[in-house]
Structure 1
Amino acid sequence: MQKIIEDLTSPEWWFSVVVVAILVGLVGVYLSRFADGAWRRLVTIRVNWTEAERLQIKKTVDYYTRHPQLLPFLISDVQGKLTSMVGLGVMAVSVLVGGMVTITNFGTGGGRGTIPYQIFVMAFGGGIMTGIMLRQSHRLTVRRKALAEIHALLRQADEGSAAHGDTPPPI
Structure 2
Amino acid sequence: MLPLGPATLHLCIDMQRLFSAEGPWPTPWMERVLPTVARIAEAAPERTVFTRFIPPYRPDDMAGMWRVYYEHWREVTCEYLDPHLLELMPPLQRLVPPALVLDKPVYSAFAGHRLRDLVRAQGIDTLLITGSETDMCVLATVLGAVDLGLRVVIVSDGVCSSSDEGHDSLLTLYSKRYSYQVETVGSEVVLAQWPS
Q: TM-score, normalising length from structure 1?
A: 0.22
Report which of the two has the higher share of strand. 2
Q: TM-score, normalising length from structure 2?
A: 0.20
Report which of the two has the higher share of helix. 1
Q: Which has the larger radius of gyration?
A: 1
